[in-house]
Homo-oligomer: A and B are copies of this chain.
Protein backbone atom coordinates (compact mmCIF):
# COMPACT_ATOMS: atom_id res chain seq x y z
CA UNK A 1 0.00 0.00 0.00
CA UNK A 2 1.70 3.15 -1.15
CA UNK A 3 0.86 5.65 1.51
CA UNK A 4 3.47 8.22 0.75
CA UNK A 5 6.08 9.09 -1.79
CA UNK A 6 8.59 10.21 0.78
CA UNK A 7 8.12 8.94 4.28
CA UNK A 8 10.89 11.16 5.57
CA UNK A 9 8.56 13.98 4.72
CA UNK A 10 5.69 12.34 6.65
CA UNK A 11 7.91 12.17 9.71
CA UNK A 12 9.33 15.67 9.49
CA UNK A 13 5.90 17.16 8.83
CA UNK A 14 4.41 15.33 11.79
CA UNK A 15 7.23 16.47 14.03
CA UNK A 16 6.96 20.06 12.90
CA UNK A 17 3.20 20.17 13.31
CA UNK A 18 3.47 18.71 16.80
CA UNK A 19 6.21 21.16 17.67
CA UNK A 20 4.12 24.08 16.50
CA UNK A 21 1.03 22.95 18.38
CA UNK A 22 3.06 22.43 21.56
CA UNK A 23 4.48 25.92 21.27
CA UNK A 24 1.01 27.37 20.73
CA UNK A 25 -0.50 25.46 23.61
CA UNK A 26 2.53 25.95 25.90
CA UNK A 27 3.06 22.21 26.10
CA UNK A 28 6.44 20.66 26.74
CA UNK A 29 7.56 18.70 23.73
CA UNK A 30 10.38 16.95 25.54
CA UNK A 31 13.04 14.72 24.01
CA UNK A 32 11.23 11.64 25.28
CA UNK A 33 7.97 12.72 23.67
CA UNK A 34 9.76 13.57 20.45
CA UNK A 35 11.47 10.19 20.41
CA UNK A 36 8.15 8.46 21.01
CA UNK A 37 6.38 10.36 18.26
CA UNK A 38 9.23 9.68 15.83
CA UNK A 39 9.18 5.98 16.68
CA UNK A 40 5.43 5.82 16.14
CA UNK A 41 5.94 7.49 12.79
CA UNK A 42 8.52 4.86 11.87
CA UNK A 43 6.04 3.79 9.21
CA UNK A 44 2.33 3.74 8.51
CA UNK A 45 1.82 0.56 10.46
CA UNK A 46 0.61 0.80 14.04
CA UNK A 47 3.14 0.43 16.82
CA UNK A 48 2.57 -1.56 19.97
CA UNK A 49 3.39 -0.09 23.36
CA UNK A 50 5.90 -2.75 24.36
CA UNK A 51 7.55 -2.63 20.95
CA UNK A 52 8.03 1.08 21.44
CA UNK A 53 9.41 0.34 24.89
CA UNK A 54 12.03 -1.99 23.44
CA UNK A 55 13.11 0.60 20.90
CA UNK A 56 13.17 3.30 23.53
CA UNK A 57 15.34 1.20 25.82
CA UNK A 58 18.10 1.16 23.21
CA UNK A 59 18.66 4.87 23.83
CA UNK A 60 17.20 5.17 27.27
CA UNK A 61 18.16 2.18 29.37
CA UNK A 62 15.92 3.18 32.25
CA UNK A 63 12.68 3.28 30.21
CA UNK A 64 9.81 1.39 31.78
CA UNK A 65 6.19 0.69 30.77
CA UNK A 66 5.06 3.78 32.63
CA UNK A 67 7.53 5.87 30.64
CA UNK A 68 5.94 4.72 27.42
CA UNK A 69 2.31 4.90 28.52
CA UNK A 70 2.75 8.38 29.92
CA UNK A 71 4.21 9.61 26.67
CA UNK A 72 1.46 7.87 24.75
CA UNK A 73 -1.12 9.59 26.96
CA UNK A 74 0.43 12.95 26.17
CA UNK A 75 0.49 12.27 22.44
CA UNK A 76 -3.07 10.95 22.49
CA UNK A 77 -4.45 13.83 24.54
CA UNK A 78 -3.02 16.32 22.12
CA UNK A 79 -4.14 14.45 19.04
CA UNK A 80 -0.68 13.65 17.69
CA UNK A 81 -1.45 9.95 17.62
CA UNK A 82 -4.47 7.68 17.72
CA UNK A 83 -5.03 4.42 19.50
CA UNK A 84 -6.19 1.64 17.22
CA UNK A 85 -8.50 -0.16 19.58
CA UNK A 86 -8.95 -3.30 17.54
CA UNK A 87 -5.19 -3.85 17.65
CA UNK A 88 -4.17 -2.27 20.95
CA UNK A 89 -1.67 -0.25 19.00
CA UNK A 90 -0.86 3.33 18.16
CA UNK A 91 -0.53 5.24 14.92
CA UNK A 92 0.48 8.77 14.07
CA UNK A 93 -2.23 11.24 13.13
CA UNK A 94 -1.85 12.82 9.71
CA UNK A 95 -3.62 16.00 10.65
CA UNK A 96 -3.70 16.77 14.36
CA UNK A 97 -6.00 19.56 15.49
CA UNK A 98 -8.12 19.18 12.36
CA UNK A 99 -10.55 16.85 14.09
CA UNK A 100 -10.97 14.68 17.14
CA UNK A 101 -11.88 11.49 15.45
CA UNK A 102 -10.46 9.46 12.67
CA UNK A 103 -11.75 6.58 10.66
CA UNK A 104 -9.18 3.97 9.74
CA UNK A 105 -8.54 1.50 6.98
CA UNK A 106 -6.36 -1.26 8.37
CA UNK A 107 -4.69 -3.68 5.98
CA UNK A 108 -4.42 -7.10 7.60
CA UNK A 109 -1.73 -8.01 5.12
CA UNK A 110 0.81 -5.17 5.02
CA UNK A 111 -0.40 -3.78 8.37
CA UNK A 112 -0.50 -0.25 7.04
CA UNK A 113 -3.19 2.07 8.26
CA UNK A 114 -4.65 5.02 6.46
CA UNK A 115 -7.18 7.51 7.63
CA UNK A 116 -10.41 7.65 5.74
CA UNK A 117 -12.23 10.46 7.48
CA UNK A 118 -15.27 11.21 5.41
CA UNK A 119 -18.13 13.59 5.92
CA UNK A 120 -20.71 11.20 4.46
CA UNK A 121 -19.85 8.63 7.09
CA UNK A 122 -19.90 11.32 9.75
CA UNK A 123 -23.35 12.54 8.71
CA UNK A 124 -24.72 9.00 8.47
CA UNK A 125 -23.48 8.35 12.00
CA UNK A 126 -24.88 11.66 13.17
CA UNK A 127 -28.30 10.84 11.73
CA UNK A 128 -28.32 7.48 13.48
CA UNK A 129 -27.24 8.84 16.84
CA UNK A 130 -29.80 11.63 16.58
CA UNK A 131 -32.55 9.14 15.81
CA UNK A 132 -31.46 7.15 18.87
CA UNK A 133 -31.23 10.32 20.96
CA UNK A 134 -27.67 9.46 21.76
CA UNK A 135 -25.10 12.13 22.68
CA UNK A 136 -21.76 11.25 21.14
CA UNK A 137 -18.49 11.80 22.93
CA UNK A 138 -16.23 9.64 20.83
CA UNK A 139 -16.49 7.50 17.74
CA UNK A 140 -14.30 4.53 16.88
CA UNK A 141 -14.43 3.33 13.30
CA UNK A 142 -11.85 0.78 12.28
CA UNK A 143 -12.22 -1.00 8.98
CA UNK A 144 -10.04 -4.06 8.58
CA UNK A 145 -9.38 -5.85 5.31
CA UNK A 146 -6.94 -5.62 2.45
CA UNK A 147 -5.59 -2.60 0.67
CA UNK A 148 -5.58 -2.51 -3.08
CA UNK A 149 -1.90 -3.34 -3.41
CA UNK A 150 -2.13 -6.34 -1.11
CA UNK A 151 -5.29 -7.72 -2.67
CA UNK A 152 -3.64 -7.59 -6.10
CA UNK A 153 -0.57 -9.29 -4.71
CA UNK A 154 -2.48 -12.32 -3.44
CA UNK A 155 -4.49 -12.81 -6.63
Shortest CB-to-CB span from A2 to chain B, Å, is 11
> Majority SS of interface residues in chain A?
mixed
A86: which of B118, B135, B140 is its contact (CB, 8 Å)? Answer: B140
Q: Which residue of B lies closest to A120 (CB)?
A: B124
- Counting every copy of the chain, the complex holds 2
Shortest CB-to-CB span from A23 to chain B, Å, is 31
Q: Are B135 and A144 in contact (CB under 8 A)?
A: no
Q: Are A135 and B120 in contact (CB under 8 A)?
A: no
Q: Check if A139 is an interface residue, CB within 8 A of chain B.
A: yes
- With known contacts A140-B140, A140-B141, A134–B147 Cβ distance under 8 A: yes
Q: Which residue of B lies closest to A107 (CB)?
A: B134
Lowest 7 A-B CB distances belong to which pairs? A133-B148, A124-B124, A137-B145, A136-B145, A140-B142, A120-B124, A121-B124
